[in-house]
Structure 1
């Protein structure tokens, strides 16, 4: 299992399953299991409660791609326009 984390500012918000849209300074956490299955969670920086991003069944063909997918998602969620 491998976990990646990134902090970013979401000016337009990020949709979560539990509470709808959250915005501001957020932390994205992605976890990749050895079989390539992925999970994504997000929280306000410094908060204890984590929320899930909508969707399920995410899987990488090659778990070595986890870093790239994590960076792409963090960049998309931070988009300014």
Structure 2
């Protein structure tokens, strides 16, 4: 299981399944298992409660793409 974590600032917010939109200093964690299934979780930086991003099962064709997809998600979520 490969895990990536990045703290970033979301000025316009990020939609979550549990509580709707959250914004500010956030942390995104993505995990990818050996079958390419991605788990996406987000929280306020330093908080204990994690939220999921909306959508169905996320899967990578090639698990080597995990780092690129993680960085791409961060860049999209933090853009103004």
Tell me which interval the TM-score lies in, with the shorter structure as reference length: over 0.9
Ranges in structure 1 where 5+ consecutive residues have no aligned partner: none
Aligned equivalents of 1:18, 1:44: Cα separation in 2: 14
Q: Aligned residue for 1:12?
A: 12
Could you tell me the TM-score, scaled by structure 2's length?
Answer: 0.98
| TM-score, length-scaled by structure 1 | 0.97
* Aligned residue in 1 for 2:51: 51
Higher strand share: 2
The size of the alignment, in residue pairs, is 80
1:23 CA displacement? 0.2
- Residue 71 of structure 1 corresponds to 71
* Cα distance in 2 between the residues matched to 1:57 and 1:12: 25
Are residues 1:27 and 2:27 paired?
yes
Q: Which ranges of structure 2 fall in alignment gaps of 5 or more residues?
A: none
Question: What is the Cα-based RMSD across aligned positions, in Å?
Answer: 0.4
